[in-house]
Structure 1
Amino acid sequence: MQVPSLFLWCFNPSLPTIVETHASDYALGAVLSLVSDSGEHPIAFDRRKLLPAELNYEIHDKELLGIVWALKRWRAFLLSISSPFEVLTDHSSLQYFMSFKILTRRQAHSAEFSSDFHFSIIYCPGRLATLPDALSRRDNV
């Protein structure tokens, strides 16, 4: 059973949008935020356990899975945005993901799905991404 995301604020597609994701050894965490004149406002939080097969993924594939999962969870909101949004990840090589020339089948599937969205992947050191990190590390996911 999939639990709905926790929403704290109304989504406004005219405001700049940020998606932060993190993958740990056993779970994914994501935060959807809007940026207004008064600062950044987290509006939705979500997390899930990794499936048994996903536990065996390399870390870059787990982090990519976290991005794709967040895009799927908030698809309706993210597709309604006219300007590009930012996806923040603590895995630095993913900021070049869309320009990789050689992809595994899993990565190619992720790239194909992601092509519907207008976003850029930005590296954010893990120590700065505390919200998605905390969500992915909870032991009672």
Structure 2
Amino acid sequence: MTTVHADIYRCDDTPGVITLSNIQKDKNCKKMVLPPVEKRARMDASSAASAKSSDAANSKEAKNKSNYENAQGERKRIIQEELVLEQDRLDAINAKIANLNSPSNKSANKAKELAALQKKQSLHQGNIELLQKELKK
């Protein structure tokens, strides 16, 4: 058996799409840490047979728990990313509002634009509050 060594990167470029690569393509690619080959070596047939019968139920339960924990971790990561995006959007709206509130920018059109921005500001603030509440669960 020949052993090959390479770095493996997990790239989460598009929502719902995971790409594995030996090249770090962008900042969304994270190097995977895998156990050494020796630890991944196959168990011999006798120990596998005895382990299989006694650990089948425990293995399934552990796998389900692991899948649930992985899903929870991924959910939390996605919510945190959304929280950062909403905060960025809110910051951009706040900057526009501050610019429109300056004394040199007073006109009828500016008042309408300001009202629309304030609605968006309220929406983003509400989204941030909901995302923060969701993270605390």
Q: Same fold (TM over 0.5)?
A: no
TM-score using structure 2 length: 0.22
In proportion to residue count, which structure has more strand? 1
TM-score using structure 1 length: 0.22
Between 1 and 2, higher relative CO (CA 8 Å, sep ≥ 6) is seen in 1
